[in-house]
Structure 1
Amino acid sequence: MARKKNSSGEITGPRIRAVALDLFAQHGYAAVSMRQIAQGVGVQAGALYLYTPDKQSLLFDLMQAHLAELHAALAELPPCPDACAALEQFTRFHIRFHRAREKAVFIAYMELRNLEPENFARIEEMRRSYEAHLEGILQRGVAAGQFTLPDAKLAGFALIAMLTGVNTWYREGGRLSLERVEDIYWDMVRKAVGA
């Protein structure tokens, strides 16, 4: 079907994703209808289907885009041959990256249960790849005698959960700056791995 004259896919597509992100974060995926998303965008409900096949695809696209951006940003970090320096870099990166994307992070964690099995498997693969990056740092640290850990995989899960938790309580303008929070969390991470 041809797009209407003067319509812009470069504007409408991103607007649909932005509105869906806001609504899913505020009300939850299950409580939001395509009609509500269309209303937020300012188009007829049928127009959404020019940009996405269904609500499930929209949720998957939001999660996939978030994780793809995460992987791309992680890949841009300078290499750290020293495991302790790499762990500090990862700690600070994780806090900063996720803090700047509060709604996307909330959806990526809280709406996993609403993904269909095939979509869940694809998102889970992307998440595991990110977790494996941290696990690799921890394994390097153990092998070099820098870290003392009984299980690098379990430690990785615990550290990611702790770091992601900053999003649940941190607010700009609060008692601590984000930089200070990073310093404190890095100190806790360092002690948790026995460095």
Structure 2
Amino acid sequence: MARTAGSNGQETASRIDDVALSLFAQKGYAAVSMREIAREVGVQAGALYNYSPNKQDLLARLMSEHMDDLLEAWHKENQDNFSPIDALKAFVLFHIRYHVSRPDHVFISYMELRNLEPDNFKKIEALRRQYEQELKLILERGQKDASFNIADVHVAAMAILAQLTGVTTWYRAKGRLSQTTIEDIYIQLVCQSVGVHS
């Protein structure tokens, strides 16, 4: 992405990303125009193209940066010396905490995949597979040492990810249960799904 040099340029670039993310999540990618993004940011429509050549590039970048940040954050959390059970619990906590704080990112990462052009889709799918593989590695270790009872690692990983990511669609900070309580429930549910009862 071409960016204007200097702090103002960086602030504008960040503002464009924030506004685009919010609008895509609220209205859907197809319903948002570059002109609307520019208006919300407070710049001329033509100036927007100094930061992003087109709307597709903007969507792809938002998704890519989300996945890059997610992978980087998990690698900082993950501990190689964790047992498979402890690693799985850590993954559950990490996934919920990371995604609950970023509902707009989660929404467009799943709902707007269909609007990515083929090359961009391949790039985002590759990043998604990297994250999926992190969970699969935990499940494979647990399957190998008999910590887990899993019929198929891939199916188990996809089911767990769908279950965890779904929290962002209904969780509310002022809801009946605290986030900590929900995390504890999900740890129990995920552990039970792989044959761990503790």
* C-alpha deviation, 1:78, in angstroms: 4.2
Looking at structure 2, the residues matched to 122 and 105 of structure 1 have their Cα atoms a distance apart, in angstroms, of 17
- In the TM superposition, what is the alpha-carbon distance from 1:72 to its structure 2 partner? 0.7
5 Å matches for 1:30-69? Answer: 30-69=30-69
Structure 1 residues 113 and 169, CA, compared in 2 at 3 Å: closer, same or farther? same
Question: Which 10-residue stretch deviates more, 74-83 or 177-186?
Answer: 74-83
Segment of structure 1 superposing worse, 76-85 or 127-136: 76-85
2:3–2:13 contact (8 Å) kept in structure 1: no
Which whole-Å CA distance do the structure 1 matches of 2:72 and 2:19 have between them?
24
Once the two structures are superposed, residues 119-161 of structure 1 have per-residue CA deviations (whole angstroms, 9 ceiling, x without a partner) of 0000000000000010110010010111001100110000000
Runs of 4+ residues over 3 Å off in structure 1: 1-4
Give, as a single letter, the amino acid of the residue that structure 1 aligns with 2:194.
V
Structure 2: any 5+ residue segments left out of the alignment? none
Contact conserved, 2:38 with 2:45, CA < 8 A, in 1?
yes
Letter in structure 2 aligned against 1:23: L
Cα separation, partners in 2 of 1:141 and 1:31, compared to 1, 3 Å = same
CA RMSD of aligned residues (A): 1.7
User: What amino acid sits opposite 1:34 in the alignment?
Assistant: M
Matches within 5 A, 1:137-152: 137-152=138-153
Residue deviations 1:8-39 (CA, integer Å, cap 9, x gap): 21110000000000100000000000000000
Residue 164 of structure 1: how far off its partner (Å)? 0.3
**2:148–2:195: 8 Å Cα contact kept in structure 1?**
yes
Is the alpha carbon distance of 1:143 and 1:52 closer, same or farther for their aligned partners in structure 2, counting shifts above 3 Å?
same
TM-score, length of structure 2 as denominator length: 0.95
Whole-Å separation in 2 of the counterparts to 1:157 and 1:166: 15
**1:1-195 aligned within 5 A:** 8-79=8-79, 80-195=81-196
Percentage of matched positions with identical amino acids: 52
Runs of 5+ unmatched residues, structure 1: none
Q: CA deviation at 1:2?
A: 10
The normalised TM-score by structure 1 is 0.96
Partners of 1:26 and 1:115 in 2: CA distance: 18
C-alpha distance in 1 between matches for 2:3 and 2:142 = 56
> Partner of 2:20: helix, strand, or coil?
helix
Residue type of the alignment partner of 2:28: G
